[in-house]
Chains A and B, each alone.
Chain A
Protein backbone atom coordinates (compact mmCIF):
# COMPACT_ATOMS: atom_id res chain seq x y z
CA UNK A 1 0.00 0.00 0.00
CA UNK A 2 1.17 3.51 -0.81
CA UNK A 3 0.13 6.88 0.54
CA UNK A 4 0.67 10.52 -0.30
CA UNK A 5 0.07 13.69 1.69
CA UNK A 6 -1.78 16.42 -0.18
CA UNK A 7 -2.62 19.70 1.53
CA UNK A 8 -2.33 18.07 4.92
CA UNK A 9 -4.55 15.13 4.04
CA UNK A 10 -3.11 11.64 3.67
CA UNK A 11 -4.58 9.61 0.84
CA UNK A 12 -3.88 5.89 0.62
CA UNK A 13 -3.75 3.68 -2.44
CA UNK A 14 -3.69 -0.09 -2.62
CA UNK A 15 -1.25 0.41 -5.47
CA UNK A 16 -0.01 3.34 -7.47
CA UNK A 17 -2.67 4.94 -9.70
CA UNK A 18 -2.35 4.38 -13.46
CA UNK A 19 -2.32 8.14 -14.06
CA UNK A 20 -1.20 10.89 -11.74
CA UNK A 21 -1.53 14.63 -12.04
CA UNK A 22 0.51 17.12 -10.07
CA UNK A 23 2.28 20.44 -10.54
CA UNK A 24 4.74 18.74 -12.89
CA UNK A 25 2.02 17.66 -15.32
CA UNK A 26 0.01 14.58 -16.21
CA UNK A 27 1.88 11.31 -15.76
CA UNK A 28 0.65 8.28 -17.69
CA UNK A 29 1.56 4.66 -16.97
CA UNK A 30 2.30 5.85 -13.46
CA UNK A 31 2.34 2.34 -12.00
CA UNK A 32 5.69 1.92 -13.75
CA UNK A 33 7.25 5.00 -12.21
CA UNK A 34 10.80 4.24 -11.10
CA UNK A 35 10.82 6.32 -7.94
CA UNK A 36 7.37 6.90 -6.41
CA UNK A 37 9.01 8.83 -3.57
CA UNK A 38 9.97 11.55 -6.05
CA UNK A 39 6.24 12.19 -6.43
CA UNK A 40 5.45 11.97 -2.73
CA UNK A 41 4.28 8.34 -2.65
CA UNK A 42 5.66 6.30 0.22
CA UNK A 43 4.97 2.83 1.62
CA UNK A 44 2.36 2.42 4.33
CA UNK A 45 3.61 0.36 7.28
CA UNK A 46 1.06 -0.73 9.86
CA UNK A 47 2.73 -1.83 13.12
CA UNK A 48 1.49 -4.97 14.83
CA UNK A 49 -0.60 -4.35 17.92
CA UNK A 50 -3.02 -6.01 20.33
CA UNK A 51 -6.45 -4.88 19.22
CA UNK A 52 -7.85 -5.67 22.68
CA UNK A 53 -5.58 -3.38 24.63
CA UNK A 54 -4.05 -1.04 22.08
CA UNK A 55 -5.16 1.17 19.25
CA UNK A 56 -3.44 2.80 16.31
CA UNK A 57 -3.00 6.55 16.10
CA UNK A 58 -4.00 8.46 13.00
CA UNK A 59 -1.64 7.84 10.11
CA UNK A 60 1.32 10.18 9.88
CA UNK A 61 4.47 10.52 7.81
CA UNK A 62 7.69 9.35 9.46
CA UNK A 63 10.29 11.45 7.68
CA UNK A 64 13.24 9.53 9.13
CA UNK A 65 12.02 6.17 7.91
CA UNK A 66 10.26 7.61 4.82
CA UNK A 67 7.06 5.70 5.48
CA UNK A 68 3.49 6.44 6.42
CA UNK A 69 2.71 4.70 9.65
CA UNK A 70 0.88 4.81 12.99
CA UNK A 71 2.01 4.82 16.58
CA UNK A 72 0.63 2.14 18.88
CA UNK A 73 -1.14 3.55 21.91
CA UNK A 74 -2.17 1.62 25.00
CA UNK A 75 -5.82 2.04 25.91
CA UNK A 76 -6.22 3.61 29.35
CA UNK A 77 -8.70 1.27 30.97
CA UNK A 78 -8.66 3.36 34.13
CA UNK A 79 -9.94 6.44 32.33
CA UNK A 80 -12.96 8.12 33.86
CA UNK A 81 -15.62 10.44 32.56
CA UNK A 82 -16.24 13.49 34.69
CA UNK A 83 -19.77 14.75 35.10
CA UNK A 84 -19.88 18.44 35.98
CA UNK A 85 -22.59 20.73 37.26
CA UNK A 86 -23.50 24.12 35.81
CA UNK A 87 -20.55 25.68 37.72
CA UNK A 88 -18.15 23.30 36.04
CA UNK A 89 -17.57 21.45 39.31
CA UNK A 90 -17.09 17.70 39.04
CA UNK A 91 -19.97 16.04 40.82
CA UNK A 92 -19.47 12.50 39.68
CA UNK A 93 -16.94 10.35 37.89
CA UNK A 94 -17.78 7.27 35.91
CA UNK A 95 -15.33 4.74 34.54
CA UNK A 96 -15.13 4.82 30.77
CA UNK A 97 -14.49 1.10 30.79
CA UNK A 98 -17.01 -0.49 33.18
CA UNK A 99 -15.73 -3.93 34.18
CA UNK A 100 -19.04 -5.00 35.70
CA UNK A 101 -20.96 -4.08 32.57
CA UNK A 102 -18.48 -6.00 30.45
CA UNK A 103 -18.73 -9.05 32.70
CA UNK A 104 -22.50 -8.89 32.50
CA UNK A 105 -22.36 -8.68 28.74
CA UNK A 106 -19.96 -11.62 28.43
CA UNK A 107 -21.98 -13.78 30.81
CA UNK A 108 -25.18 -12.96 28.96
CA UNK A 109 -23.54 -14.01 25.69
CA UNK A 110 -22.53 -17.33 27.25
CA UNK A 111 -26.06 -17.92 28.57
CA UNK A 112 -27.47 -17.23 25.12
CA UNK A 113 -25.01 -19.64 23.54
CA UNK A 114 -25.82 -22.26 26.17
CA UNK A 115 -29.51 -21.95 25.40
CA UNK A 116 -28.87 -22.45 21.70
CA UNK A 117 -26.77 -25.54 22.39
CA UNK A 118 -29.45 -27.06 24.63
CA UNK A 119 -32.37 -26.15 22.39
CA UNK A 120 -32.09 -29.09 19.94
CA UNK A 121 -32.50 -31.59 22.81
CA UNK A 122 -35.08 -29.65 24.83
CA UNK A 123 -37.80 -31.85 23.43
CA UNK A 124 -36.37 -34.81 25.39
CA UNK A 125 -36.99 -32.86 28.57
CA UNK A 126 -40.51 -31.93 27.49
CA UNK A 127 -41.24 -35.57 26.63
CA UNK A 128 -39.98 -36.67 30.03
CA UNK A 129 -42.19 -34.15 31.79
CA UNK A 130 -45.30 -34.94 29.76
CA UNK A 131 -45.04 -38.67 29.21
CA UNK A 132 -42.32 -39.84 31.59
CA UNK A 133 -40.17 -41.12 28.73
CA UNK A 134 -36.59 -41.36 29.89
CA UNK A 135 -33.96 -39.12 28.35
CA UNK A 136 -31.22 -41.23 26.69
CA UNK A 137 -28.09 -41.27 28.81
CA UNK A 138 -25.83 -39.82 26.09
CA UNK A 139 -28.22 -36.89 25.58
CA UNK A 140 -28.43 -36.33 29.28
CA UNK A 141 -24.64 -36.41 29.56
CA UNK A 142 -24.24 -33.94 26.72
CA UNK A 143 -26.72 -31.49 28.26
CA UNK A 144 -25.06 -31.76 31.64
CA UNK A 145 -21.67 -31.14 30.04
CA UNK A 146 -22.95 -27.96 28.36
CA UNK A 147 -24.52 -26.66 31.54
CA UNK A 148 -21.43 -27.47 33.60
CA UNK A 149 -19.16 -25.68 31.16
CA UNK A 150 -21.48 -22.70 31.03
CA UNK A 151 -21.41 -22.43 34.82
CA UNK A 152 -17.63 -22.75 34.81
CA UNK A 153 -17.25 -19.97 32.24
CA UNK A 154 -19.54 -17.72 34.24
CA UNK A 155 -17.58 -18.38 37.43
CA UNK A 156 -14.29 -17.69 35.67
CA UNK A 157 -15.55 -14.37 34.33
CA UNK A 158 -16.95 -13.37 37.70
CA UNK A 159 -13.56 -14.04 39.30
CA UNK A 160 -11.64 -11.78 36.91
CA UNK A 161 -10.42 -8.55 38.44
CA UNK A 162 -9.22 -6.39 35.58
CA UNK A 163 -10.97 -4.98 32.54
CA UNK A 164 -8.26 -6.33 30.22
CA UNK A 165 -8.66 -9.84 31.61
CA UNK A 166 -12.38 -9.75 30.95
CA UNK A 167 -11.81 -8.27 27.52
CA UNK A 168 -9.37 -11.02 26.57
CA UNK A 169 -11.40 -13.84 28.13
CA UNK A 170 -12.40 -16.45 25.60
CA UNK A 171 -14.30 -19.67 25.97
CA UNK A 172 -15.23 -22.62 23.86
CA UNK A 173 -17.75 -25.34 24.58
CA UNK A 174 -16.25 -27.82 22.17
CA UNK A 175 -12.48 -27.44 21.75
CA UNK A 176 -11.21 -28.36 18.32
CA UNK A 177 -8.97 -31.39 18.11
CA UNK A 178 -5.44 -30.84 16.97
CA UNK A 179 -6.09 -30.00 13.31
CA UNK A 180 -2.55 -30.89 12.35
CA UNK A 181 -3.06 -34.43 13.60
CA UNK A 182 -0.38 -36.94 14.16
CA UNK A 183 2.62 -36.96 11.85
CA UNK A 184 2.32 -39.48 9.06
CA UNK A 185 4.69 -42.40 9.57
CA UNK A 186 5.17 -45.56 7.63
Chain B
Protein backbone atom coordinates (compact mmCIF):
# COMPACT_ATOMS: atom_id res chain seq x y z
CA UNK B 1 0.00 0.00 0.00
CA UNK B 2 1.32 3.41 -0.91
CA UNK B 3 2.51 5.64 1.95
CA UNK B 4 0.30 8.72 1.78
CA UNK B 5 1.21 10.31 5.12
CA UNK B 6 4.67 10.72 6.62
CA UNK B 7 4.52 9.61 10.23
CA UNK B 8 7.11 10.10 12.95
CA UNK B 9 7.88 6.39 12.91
CA UNK B 10 9.26 6.48 9.39
CA UNK B 11 11.50 9.48 9.89
CA UNK B 12 15.22 9.06 9.89
CA UNK B 13 17.42 9.43 12.95
CA UNK B 14 18.33 12.97 12.02
CA UNK B 15 14.75 13.91 12.88
CA UNK B 16 14.17 11.66 15.87
CA UNK B 17 17.29 11.40 17.96
CA UNK B 18 19.30 13.44 20.38
CA UNK B 19 23.04 13.19 20.60
CA UNK B 20 25.91 14.67 22.49
CA UNK B 21 28.32 16.83 20.55
CA UNK B 22 31.58 15.00 21.13
CA UNK B 23 33.97 17.61 19.82
CA UNK B 24 32.69 20.81 18.26
CA UNK B 25 31.06 19.79 15.00
CA UNK B 26 27.29 19.86 14.73
CA UNK B 27 26.43 17.36 12.02
CA UNK B 28 22.96 18.31 10.80
CA UNK B 29 22.45 14.79 9.41
CA UNK B 30 23.16 13.11 12.73
CA UNK B 31 20.35 14.13 15.07
CA UNK B 32 17.52 16.51 15.79
CA UNK B 33 18.75 17.61 19.19
CA UNK B 34 22.35 18.19 20.20
CA UNK B 35 23.64 18.48 23.75
CA UNK B 36 26.90 19.94 24.96
CA UNK B 37 28.37 21.12 28.23
CA UNK B 38 31.21 23.49 27.62
CA UNK B 39 34.39 22.99 29.61
CA UNK B 40 36.35 25.60 27.67
CA UNK B 41 35.81 28.24 25.00
CA UNK B 42 34.59 26.25 22.00
CA UNK B 43 34.38 27.03 18.29
CA UNK B 44 31.56 25.06 16.71
CA UNK B 45 31.38 24.06 13.06
CA UNK B 46 28.32 23.01 11.08
CA UNK B 47 28.33 20.12 8.63
CA UNK B 48 25.78 18.54 6.30
CA UNK B 49 23.50 21.52 6.76
CA UNK B 50 20.89 22.42 4.17
CA UNK B 51 18.55 25.30 3.61
CA UNK B 52 15.42 24.91 5.70
CA UNK B 53 16.98 22.64 8.30
CA UNK B 54 16.31 23.52 11.93
CA UNK B 55 18.27 21.92 14.75
CA UNK B 56 18.11 22.27 18.51
CA UNK B 57 21.22 22.69 20.61
CA UNK B 58 21.07 22.47 24.39
CA UNK B 59 24.20 24.22 25.53
CA UNK B 60 25.51 24.76 29.05
CA UNK B 61 28.65 26.23 30.52
CA UNK B 62 30.12 29.58 31.46
CA UNK B 63 32.50 29.72 28.54
CA UNK B 64 32.49 31.37 25.12
CA UNK B 65 30.79 29.36 22.35
CA UNK B 66 31.66 30.56 18.87
CA UNK B 67 29.50 29.78 15.86
CA UNK B 68 30.53 29.94 12.20
CA UNK B 69 30.71 33.15 10.21
CA UNK B 70 27.24 33.90 8.90
CA UNK B 71 25.55 33.17 12.21
CA UNK B 72 23.34 35.82 13.72
CA UNK B 73 21.17 35.98 16.81
CA UNK B 74 17.53 36.76 16.13
CA UNK B 75 16.36 36.45 19.72
CA UNK B 76 17.70 35.96 23.24
CA UNK B 77 21.12 35.91 24.81
CA UNK B 78 23.39 33.19 26.08
CA UNK B 79 23.44 32.63 29.84
CA UNK B 80 26.37 30.56 30.99
CA UNK B 81 24.81 29.81 34.38
CA UNK B 82 21.90 27.73 33.02
CA UNK B 83 21.01 25.48 30.10
CA UNK B 84 20.42 27.37 26.88
CA UNK B 85 17.99 26.12 24.26
CA UNK B 86 19.42 27.28 20.95
CA UNK B 87 17.50 26.75 17.74
CA UNK B 88 19.61 26.96 14.61
CA UNK B 89 17.75 27.62 11.37
CA UNK B 90 19.54 27.48 8.03
CA UNK B 91 17.84 30.25 6.08
CA UNK B 92 20.31 30.36 3.19
CA UNK B 93 23.63 28.88 2.31
CA UNK B 94 26.02 29.94 5.06
CA UNK B 95 23.29 31.96 6.75
CA UNK B 96 22.32 30.68 10.19
CA UNK B 97 19.77 32.29 12.48
CA UNK B 98 19.98 31.54 16.19
CA UNK B 99 17.20 31.84 18.72
CA UNK B 100 18.33 31.44 22.32
CA UNK B 101 16.05 30.83 25.30
CA UNK B 102 16.20 29.44 28.80
CA UNK B 103 13.79 27.50 31.00
CA UNK B 104 11.49 29.89 32.87
Tell whether A29 pairs with B78 under 8 Å between CB atoms, given A24-B43, A24-B66, A34-B41.
yes
Tell whether A26 pairs with B73 under 8 Å between CB atoms, given A32-B80, A33-B41, A34-B41.
yes
Most B C-beta atoms less than 10 A away, residue of A21, A27, A28, A33 = A28
11 additional A-B residue pairs with CB within 8 Å, beyond A24-B69, A26-B72, A29-B79: A18-B77, A25-B66, A25-B68, A26-B71, A27-B64, A27-B65, A27-B66, A29-B64, A29-B80, A32-B62, A32-B63
Complex interface: chain B residues within 8 A of A21 (CB) = 72
Interface residues of A in 18-61 (CB under 8 A from B): 18-19, 21, 23-30, 32-34
Rounded to whole angstroms, the CA-CA distance of A24 and B67 in the bound complex is 8
Most A C-beta atoms less than 10 A away, residue of B62, B64, B68, B100 = B64
Report, nearest first, the 7 A-B pairs whose CB atoms are least far apart. A28-B78, A26-B71, A29-B78, A25-B66, A26-B67, A27-B66, A33-B64
Rounded to whole angstroms, the CA-CA distance of A33 and B78 in the bound complex is 13
- Which applies to chain A's interface (DSSP): helix, strand, loop or mixed? loop
Closest to A19 in B: B73
Q: Can you sample 15 A-B contacts with CB below 8 Å?
A: A18-B78, A19-B77, A21-B72, A25-B66, A25-B71, A26-B69, A26-B73, A26-B98, A27-B65, A27-B66, A29-B65, A29-B79, A29-B80, A30-B64, A32-B62
Chain B interface residue count, CB cutoff 8 Å, equals 19
| Cβ-defined contact, A28 with B65, below 8 A | yes
Complex interface: chain A residues within 8 A of B71 (CB) = 25-26
Complex interface: chain B residues within 8 A of A30 (CB) = 64
Chain A nearest CB from B83 CB (Å) reads 13
Rounded to whole angstroms, the CA-CA distance of A27 and B68 in the bound complex is 9
Closest to A28 in B: B78
- Taken residue by residue from 50 to 72, chain B's Cβ proximity to chain A (1 for < 8 Å, 0 otherwise) reads as 00000000000011111111011
Closest to A39 in B: B64
Chain B nearest CB from A121 CB (Å) reads 62
Complex interface: chain A residues within 8 A of B63 (CB) = 29, 32
Chain B nearest CB from A6 CB (Å) reads 16
Chain B nearest CB from A186 CB (Å) reads 51
Rounded to whole angstroms, the CA-CA distance of A23 and B78 in the bound complex is 20
Most A C-beta atoms less than 10 A away, residue of B62, B73, B78, B80 = B78
Closest to B79 in A: A29
Rounded to whole angstroms, the CA-CA distance of A75 and B34 in the bound complex is 62
